[in-house]
Chain A
Amino acid sequence: NAGVTQTPKFRILKIGQSMTLQCTQDMNHNYMYWYRQDPGMGLKLIYYSVGAGITDKGEVPNGYNVSRSTTEDFPLRLELAAPSQTSVYFCASSDRAQETQYFGPGTRLLVL
């Protein structure tokens, strides 16, 4: 099993550009999450999904959008990149709400 995979690993964006961070899991998990990790900080939840077609905001959703058309995929969209979105982004999945979350390797994003 590949687990949770994320692409790209690293990306540089110019202010105002848009991009989609991809996340795929092959564990048939219902729950998926997007976090951002800023230097010296813990992880902050951006969006999460409890199943295909259902998404909800986390702690820091502004500037991001998500969709969940399939169980496997949970892409994160940045429409107008800003320097404040420079961060490392982690996708995670879990079978149920109270179960262990499995994390992808992360995407490092730099907005200049």
Chain B
Amino acid sequence: GDSVTQMEGPVTLSEEAFLTINCTYTATGYPSLFWYVQYPGEGLQLLLKATKADDKGSNKGFEATYRKETTSFHLEKGSVQVSDSAVYFCALLLNTDKLIFGTGTRLQVFP
């Protein structure tokens, strides 16, 4: 079935380090791909999305490129801040009404 696989966390980084969170997917069609972020004590917020192959989503210094050939949508940021500490969820949306989420990756950034 359709699914999303994310790297396990926590990912622990120092401020200004480079971030990569891996996400791969399995889907029978051509999904839209999303990254959601959940800050402590809050609900999920959309971080970025891409709707077709080779699209790049970007927001707040984060980027992810929809790679159809490797079925991946890895999240990257060149220089993380303490305020980026959160849980990051990769998700896909097919021609249905339902988002399918990965298990989430916790990012901890220390000064």
Would you give the 0/1 interface string for A14-41, flagging 1 where the beta carbon is closer than 8 Å to chain B?
A: 0000000000000000010100000011
Q: Which residues of B contact A (CB under 8 A)?
A: 4, 32, 34, 36, 41-46, 49, 51, 89, 93, 96-99, 101-104
Kindly identify which residue among A42, A97, A101, A102 contacts B4, using a CB–CB cutoff of 8 Å: A42
The answer to whether A105 touches B97, judged by C-beta atoms less than 8 angstroms apart, is no
Q: Which residues of A contact B (CB under 8 A)?
A: 4, 31, 33, 40-45, 48, 50, 58-59, 90, 92, 97-98, 100-106
Which of A33, A44, A92, A103 has the most C-beta atoms of chain B within 10 angstroms of its own C-beta?
A103
The answer to whether B42 touches A45, judged by C-beta atoms less than 8 angstroms apart, is no
Q: What are the residues of chain A within 8 A of B4 when measuring CB–CB?
A: 42
The answer to whether A100 touches B43, judged by C-beta atoms less than 8 angstroms apart, is no
Question: Could you tell me the distance between the alpha carbons of A45 and B49 in the complex, rounded to whole angstroms?
Answer: 20
Given A42-B89, A98-B93, A100-B49, check contact A90 B44 (CB 8 Å): yes
Question: Could you tell me the distance between the alpha carbons of A24 and B24 in the complex, rounded to whole angstroms?
Answer: 33
Q: What are the residues of chain B within 8 A of A104 when measuring CB–CB?
A: 43
Kindly identify which residue among B43, B51, B93 contacts A106, using a CB–CB cutoff of 8 Å: B43
Kindly identify which residue among A31, A40, A59, A105 contacts B103, using a CB–CB cutoff of 8 Å: A40
A51 nearest CB across to chain B (Å): 11
A49 nearest CB across to chain B (Å): 9
Which of B34, B89, B99 has the most C-beta atoms of chain A within 10 angstroms of its own C-beta?
B99
Q: What are the residues of chain A within 8 A of B102 when measuring CB–CB?
A: 42
Question: Could you tell me the distance between the alpha carbons of A103 and B47 in the complex, rounded to whole angstroms?
Answer: 12
Which of A4, A33, A50, A100 has the most C-beta atoms of chain B within 10 angstroms of its own C-beta?
A100
22 contacts between A and B (CB under 8 A): A4-B43, A40-B104, A41-B103, A42-B4, A42-B101, A42-B104, A50-B97, A58-B98, A59-B98, A92-B43, A97-B97, A100-B34, A100-B46, A100-B49, A101-B46, A101-B99, A103-B44, A103-B45, A105-B41, A105-B42, A106-B42, A106-B43
The answer to whether A43 touches B49, judged by C-beta atoms less than 8 angstroms apart, is no
B88 nearest CB across to chain A (Å): 11
